[in-house]
Amino acid sequence: MPIHERLNIEYWKQVCPLQLLRERTRRLPALGGITGPCDIAALEHLRDASYGNLPGLERVPTDVFIWSRGEPEQRLVTKIGGLPYREARKPWPTAPSGIPLTFVAQMCFADSRDLTPVIPGDVLLIFTEAKNWGTEEDPLYDFMGEAEDDSYLLFEWVSFHNFPLITQQEIPKTSLEIMPCYATIYRTWDYPQVDEFAYPDLAENIPGVIEATKIGGICPWSEAPWSDYTEDETSEYLCSLRSIDHEMSWPFPFLNMPDDNDWLDWGPGGPLKIGDVGFINLFLQRDGTIRWRFHTP
């Protein structure tokens, strides 16, 4: 039985036609990361008009997550912030410094088993240490600093079980508040061999490899200078977790939020930011542990 709701892409392509998005931005759409329904609708519109139907292209399936704001009815789903799928009364994880960690996100693999290696659980929980990257007078609590070495991340595998789930009252308060969001899943393709800049009349670029919170597919930025880290004999690309942002002039920053009335009033906390609107790629090692790599555009 599916865990996530499935995105109706044909509906969203009607709600977010290219002409509307072009009028809102007053230019050709510049596609970066995918977080909201207009982002993925624009990408699929542009792929339909360019390379999406060309024969002979390598297509690698990937599950992309599109966000709604708030807490889901189903605690198992892929989500950011808020309440994790974690057993009540289980000791809360702490950093080596002894302070309680902040729950950042969880990735649910139940609907994506065909895209992953054998994994040691159903849900991967991600925690971070809330460090102050600012000053005492002007504090700045963010997911991480300038590089991986600045941050302490902890990963915890959880399997589906009929246990009582942790409540908000049981979660220690930390200085880093993250606005809760939950995901709807969309199965699409990565195209690792296309020329993303071959259609200048349509858009500045039409990404072949999707940069989003996603499971499977092609690792984003795997051709970057540090690509020797992404895949080796002991680890496989598993998934990515991306910051939440959107094109400010477009509607539907979230599936359940038609307009962005006030980007700065999205409490509690703000939308997830990883560095400067970056993301992390996660890799599964043979022993079931996680390696990760941070990237910012």
Domain contains 1: no
Region 259-275: mean pLDDT is: 68
In a domain, 81, yes or no: yes
Q: What is the DSSP letter of 195?
A: -
Q: Is residue 57 part of a domain?
A: yes
Closest by alpha carbon to 242, among 215, 269, 260, 207? 215
Q: Could you list the residue range(s) of the whole structural domain that residue 44 is in?
A: 9-295
Give the whole-angstrom CA distance, residue 219 versus residue 215.
9
Q: Is residue 89 part of a domain?
A: yes
CATH assignment of the domain containing 189: 2.30.320
Phi and psi of 192, rounded to 5°? -75, -10
Per residue in 214-247, pLDDT (tens digit) is 999 999 976 544 344 445 557 899 999 999 987 7
When pLDDT is cut at 50, 70 and 90, the band that residue 262 belongs to is: low
pLDDT digits (tens, 9 = 90+) for 50-67: 999 999 999 999 999 999
| Residue at 2 is within a domain | no
Contact partners, residue 62, CB within 8 Å, separation at least 6:
115, 187, 188, 189, 190, 210, 214, 215, 216, 217, 218
What average pLDDT does the structure give for the chain? 87
End-to-end CA distance of the chain: 37
288: left (phi > 0), else alpha (psi -120 to 50), else beta? Answer: left
Residue 254, judged by CB atoms within 10 A of its CB (0-12, 13-18, 19+), counts as: buried
Whether 290 is covered by a domain: the verdict is yes
**pLDDT given for residue 225 in this prediction:** 40
Number of domains in the chain: 1
Q: How far apart are CA 113 and CA 123, in angstroms?
A: 12
Question: Under DSSP, is residue 41 helix (H, G, I), strand (E, B) or coil?
Answer: helix
Share of the chain above pLDDT 90, in %: 61
288: pLDDT strictly greater than 50: yes
* Span 105-137, pLDDT tens digits: 999 999 999 999 999 999 999 999 877 666 766
Average pLDDT over residues 288-296: 87
pLDDT at 171 over 60: yes
